[in-house]
Amino acid sequence: MIRKMALGFVIFLVICVAVYLHFRRPNPVLGTAYAGGRGVTLYNSSAQIRSPIGTVSYGEPLRIEARFGDQVEVRTTSGLVGWTNNNDLITDDLWQNEKDLDARIAATTAESQGHTAVISNLHLEPGRDAPRVRQLKKDVPIQLFRREAVPVPQGTFPAATQPESDTGEESATGANGPKKEDWWLVRAQLDDKSHVSGWILGRFIDLDVPAPLPDYASAANLHIVAWFLLNPALDADGKQVPQYLLVGTMGPEGGVCDFTMMRVFTWSKTKSQYETAFVDSDVCGKLPIDIVRLPVQQKVTMTFKDPGDGSVQTYRMQQTIVRHIKNADSKLAERRER
């Protein structure tokens, strides 16, 4: 009798285990995401009334456990499980594309340096509707690499209001057709010394232009785009003073040209101040500008492309004299002078 009861119990136990294994389903892996913005807060519920249970830093990988509307339940690498908004997360594909972009940009030369003027959204591509990589706070150091003029979508703040994001309201049509705005490809240095790359609205950037160039530009009503060190001069005390090429635009943003004006500033030893050695207000240039310095001959060559016709434009400075070399003869003349 006891043997039969034991056998029956074993059979019942086997059946229970089989049923449990049959109906038990492991939680499906819904993918991996990364914390976006400047950090993500996790909550104990997806309900309207809930409590924060922790935060995760930008870029921390998160395993997606469940989804409910625009709410996502995630698990951190430390095992913390909580809910957050889907808009606060970066998809796996977007994260990899951002890393690839940053690696490419890190290997190129910046055209200028500056910092964010306001809280700014960093996008994977130029345009307000492009995927957002993260949000940068004010005064984040950035390097600028390339400009793109992009049509303004319907509904954004006018440029004069300087909003603290790129999601305001504004007319997207001007007198000459669709209105365009400048976007810059930048590489930002974060507080932890790491870097992130992406596109940011040009009007949200303040350039770190060396003094006194901003004063000269302001007097000429010039919006500075970039500046370049040409060669050093000596002051009255025999100390080296940098001499600059300054390029910029006049008028509204969103044009075909990266810059429409060039100015060369040289140092006057007798007056102990900068002087405008050269001005060209009838130029259409595309960055980058190739600067070739020949210290022995005291010459500097400045070369760039005209985006209108694709021609190569060359300017040569010898001592304090700058002249425009016709593009057909510029390479031949350069070889002869070398």
- Find the mean pLDDT for residues 290-317: 91
CA nearest neighbour of 258 among 297, 306, 299: 306
Residue 220 has pLDDT above 70, yes or no: yes
pLDDT (tens digit per residue) in 71-122:
889 998 888 998 998 888 888 899 999 999 999 999 999 999 999 999 999 9
Taking the domains of the chain in order of start, what are their residue ranges? 32-91, 108-206, 209-337
Rounded CA gap, 306 and 261, in Å?
12
Between 315 and 320, name the one with better pLDDT: 315
Between 167 and 34, name the one with better pLDDT: 34
Percent share of the chain, pLDDT over 70:
81
Residue 59 has pLDDT above 90, yes or no: no
**DSSP secondary structure code for residue 270 in this structure:** T
How far is CA 178 from its chain centroid? Answer: 24
Q: What is the pLDDT of residue 171?
A: 47
What average pLDDT is seen over the chain?
A: 84
Contact 289, 300 (CB under 8 A): no
Q: What is the pLDDT of residue 115?
A: 97
Q: What is the pLDDT of residue 39?
A: 77
Residue 332 has pLDDT above 50, yes or no: no
Helix (H) and strand (E) counts in the chain: 4, 24
- Find the mean pLDDT for residues 297-326: 90
pLDDT (tens digit per residue) in 132-147:
888 899 999 999 999 9
pLDDT (tens digit per residue) in 4-39:
565 565 565 656 555 554 444 455 557 888 888 777
Contact 6, 44 (CB under 8 A): no
Strands 273-280, 173-174: pairing is unpaired
Percent share of the chain, pLDDT over 90:
48
Q: What is the pLDDT of residue 160?
A: 37
pLDDT band at residue 251 using 50, 70 and 90 as cut-offs: confident
Q: What is the pLDDT of residue 263?
A: 95
pLDDT band at residue 286 using 50, 70 and 90 as cut-offs: very high
Q: What is the pLDDT of residue 163?
A: 47
Q: What is the pLDDT of residue 86?
A: 85
For the full predicted model, state whether its pTM sits above 0.75. Answer: yes
Contact 142, 114 (CB under 8 A): yes
pLDDT band at residue 336 using 50, 70 and 90 as cut-offs: very low
CATH of 32-91, one of 3.20.20.70, 2.130.10.30, 3.40.50.300, 2.30.30.40: 2.30.30.40
CA nearest neighbour of 274 among 215, 196, 220: 215
- Find the mean pLDDT for residues 176-183: 84
Residue 126 has pLDDT above 90, yes or no: yes
pLDDT (tens digit per residue) in 190-208:
888 889 999 999 999 999 9
